Homo-oligomer: A and B are copies of this chain.
Amino acid sequence: MTPITPPYYAVIITQKLKDTGLEGYDEMAARMVELGTKWPGYLGRESVARADGHELTVIYYADAESIAGWKADVEHLEAQRLGRERWYEYYDVQIARVERAYSFRS
């Protein structure tokens, strides 16, 4: 994400998928990324996966209301339900208010 001036919000997600039964996950994940990035207040997204299937994602939004609205979106709620039922081994979600930011470019 291009650096912007705080305050803004970060959703920090650590997750791991199950080893099997992942039919439908990739399509759903792509659809949720598409919808989530179109949601009002969306600022940016970083996601890095490890070889062991563990994944770390940070999604930035302008404010807490944008995040709450997206979490409660009907299509997103259904995706979350399916994720818990079928695909996720675990996830940890943290909602954080970015208070300070600084950068370096060589």
Contact = CB atoms under 8 A, between A and B. Distances in A.
A100 B106 contact: no
Interface of A: 1, 3, 6, 10, 12, 14, 18, 46-50, 54-56, 58, 64, 84, 88-106
A38 to B, nearest CB: 22
Contact of A94 (B10, B47, B50): B10
A93 B97 contact: no
Given A46-B56, A58-B58, A91 B104 contact: yes
Contacts of A105: 89-90
A94 B98 contact: yes
A93 B101 contact: yes
